[in-house]
Amino acid sequence: MELRELQLTELNMLKAFVAFCKEHDLRYFLLEGTLLGAVRHKGFIPWDDDIDIVMPRSDYNKLLELGRDAFEEPLELCHYSFTPGYYYSFARLNNNKIHIMNHSANIPRKEAIAVDIIPLDGFPDPGIKRFFHKLRITWWWDLNNLAQFDELVDQKRKRKPLQKVLLSIASAFKWAFRKIDTNKCLKNVNKALAAYDYDSDTNYVINYLGTWGFHEIIPREYMGEGKEVEFEGEMFMGPADADAMLKMIYGDYMQLPPEGERNWHNAEIIEE
């Protein structure tokens, strides 16, 4: 299967997801690489191999409640709370007929192609509450990453010098954390994030479980009520201010990355 064929398959998965959201009045937004693709390419980034969706946590929880058995095969909604062997901290809509081999971590993993579905939460304004909130989230997140270091931590992502040093230290001591209950870690990091409701009166929201962690502390007005954006000839919901969002995450987002950095997920498509 060629990459473009995979992308079009994922587009159909996105349409099925959006149809479910419309049926149940659930909010969603394109974000991260999918939003970048929509704005810069009017569709997929040419080398991208997945779709990134965020949902306010109240809508996300309804999705988990109503969507567990709602999708027709080969589609399957997966989440650590009800999918055996699942290690992601967020939900995914998998297509179990098509797989990729992900080489980003120390141990390559075979996984279904997917639409990533990540909860959005409220986030406190700068100050002491934010400081302690970040500490609580970081504690459970780092424990989970140490427990699943070889299987989960992206070794190929570009990092700052201090991050590289911390990664080396974590790698040296990863053996000490292998018996940690990762399901407990995932439950607690989500519980910590949910302490501030998306629809509260804070000035910020966060997409912590996405690619960039605390770098995606988002001014609430960027999300707003959303605004439609074109993606592969269809209209989907994006943030109210996509330009401000993309500048916050990527800087000069219209500038293409070097060719050597264009397979973001270090994945290869497996013929089925």
Tens digits of residue pLDDT in 46-57: 999 899 999 999
Alpha carbons 7 and 233: distance in angstroms, whole number: 13
Residue in 225, 192, 200, 229 with CA at minimum distance from that of residue 58: 200
SS3 120: strand
Residue 149 located in a structural domain? no
Residue 90 located in a structural domain? yes
Checking if the pLDDT of 108 tops 90, the result is no
Identify the domain containing residue 54 by its residue range. Answer: 3-125+198-270
For residues 46, 267, 120 and 150, what is the CA-based torsion angle, rounded to 10 degrees?
-160
Mean pLDDT for 128-155 is 82
* H helix and E strand count, the chain: 9, 10
Residue 181 located in a structural domain? no
What is the model's pLDDT at position 144? 85
CB 120 within 8 A of CB 205: yes
CATH code for the domain of 66: 3.30.460
Q: What is the pTM of this model?
A: 0.89
Q: Interhelix angle for 57-67 vs 3-24, to 10°?
A: 100
Residue 147 located in a structural domain? no
DSSP letter string, 148-209? THHHHS-SSS---HHHHHHHHHHHHHGGGGTTS-HHHHHHHHHHHHTTS-TTSS-SEEE-TT
Checking if the pLDDT of 245 tops 90, the result is yes
SS3 9: helix
Residue 97 located in a structural domain? yes
Residue 18 located in a structural domain? yes
Encode 46-59: b = buried (16+ Cβ within 10 Å), e = exposed: eebbbbbbbbbbeb
Residue 142 located in a structural domain? no
Question: What's the number of domains the chain is made of?
Answer: 1
Residue 216 located in a structural domain? yes
